[in-house]
Amino acid sequence: MATHDGVNCTRRDFLRIAGSVALLMASPGQAVFAASPPGRAPLKIATIGSGRIGGTLGTLWVQAGHPVMFSSRHPEQLKEMVDSLGPLARAGTVEEAIAFADVVLLAVPYRAMPQIGKDHGRALAAKALVLDATNPIPRRDGEIANWAREKGAGLASAELLPGVRIVRAFNAIGYARLPEIAKRQGDPVGMPMAGDDANANALASGLVREIGFEPVVIGPLAMGKHLLPRTPLAGVRTPEEIRKIAATLD
């Protein structure tokens, strides 16, 4: 039985998700883009924010064989997108998507994070993994972004979402690059990530690998302050470059 801040996963949920971790970890370096390999347990994924980055990542995970609920405050506006993605994709409210999912992707403007924490923090703390692709951008998000940057983006998200198993990832690469990287052959592209929970890091690594990236956990969530646009780790980099750069950061 996994417990976390007083919120329990059921034993069945835990075993299913643990099985997914093992299976995802069992295919290093392999982008599972065209279809799920037989026997792999799919993970139910929710995207909170289904715009550029949430819509793109959710689409790639649908194409990798995972059921995804894309959420919006206006889910009817997502109908065309989910219809085009087939039966694994559906649309819902934020609340419905969180209830549906094993794993949640946060892909909203940072100014939305305090409200998401207030409204959904407890439900998010019951998840095995919450991927945080959000970035505090002062000109877009206002004062909360200054606060988050001073604290460090990872620790700020943890304060807004207490007890949540957060892994920062996908923060410093433009959404438009993701589909081409998911399909490409050849040298691996690294995905810098930061998180405190070993199981959440493993689960996130599997999902990252499935859409064509080699996961590189650069350290605990406190290192998430380095995962922002226009920082040394931003852009398309090899895993080795990411490791070298990360070694110079504290």
- Does the footprint of ligand NAP cover residue 134 (CB under 6 A)? yes
- Does the footprint of ligand NAP cover residue 51 (CB under 6 A)? yes
Report the residue from 50, 63, 201, 205 that binds ligand NAP according to the rule CB under 6 A: 50
CA distances from 45 to 57, 152, 154, 158, 222 (A): 10, 26, 21, 20, 25
- Does the footprint of ligand NAP cover residue 52 (CB under 6 A)? yes
Indicate if the alpha-carbon torsion angle 130, 132, 133, 139 is positive or negative: positive
Q: Which is nearer to ligand NAP, 78 or 128 (CB)?
A: 78
Task: Give the interface segment with ligand NAP, choosing from 149-157, 169-177, 186-194, 240-248 (CB under 6 A).
Answer: 169-177
Residue 74 burial by Cβ neighbours in a 10 Å radius (0-12, 13-18, 19+): exposed
- Does the footprint of ligand NAP cover residue 98 (CB under 6 A)? no
Task: Give the interface segment with ligand NAP, choosing from 4-12, 16-24, 133-141, 219-227 (CB under 6 A).
Answer: 133-141
Angle, helices 198-210 vs 11-25, to 10°: value is: 50
What is the DSSP annotation of 55-104?
A: HHHHHHHHHTT--EEEE-SSGGGGHHHHHHH-TTEEEE-HHHHHHH-SEE
Report the residue from 118, 174, 198, 240 that binds ligand NAP according to the rule CB under 6 A: 174
Task: Give the interface segment with ligand NAP, choosing from 25-33, 44-52, 80-88, 158-166 (CB under 6 A).
Answer: 44-52
- Does the footprint of ligand NAP cover residue 123 (CB under 6 A)? no
CA distance linking residue 230 with residue 139, whole number of Å: 15
| Backbone phi and psi for residue 119, each to the nearest 5 degrees, phi listed first | -80, -35
- Does the footprint of ligand NAP cover residue 94 (CB under 6 A)? yes
Report the residue from 31, 53, 144, 194 that binds ligand NAP according to the rule CB under 6 A: 53
Report the residue from 20, 59, 135, 205 that binds ligand NAP according to the rule CB under 6 A: 135
Indicate if the alpha-carbon torsion angle 229, 128, 94, 44 is positive or negative: positive
Report the residue from 93, 125, 175, 243 that binds ligand NAP according to the rule CB under 6 A: 175
Applying CB under 6 A, the site for ligand NAP has a residue count of 26
DSSP 10: P
Query: From the CB of 206, what's the least distance to ligand NAP, in Å?
Result: 20
Three-state DSSP at 214 gives strand
Residues that bind ligand NAP (CB under 6 A): 48-54, 72-74, 94, 107-110, 112, 115-116, 133-135, 137, 170-171, 174-175
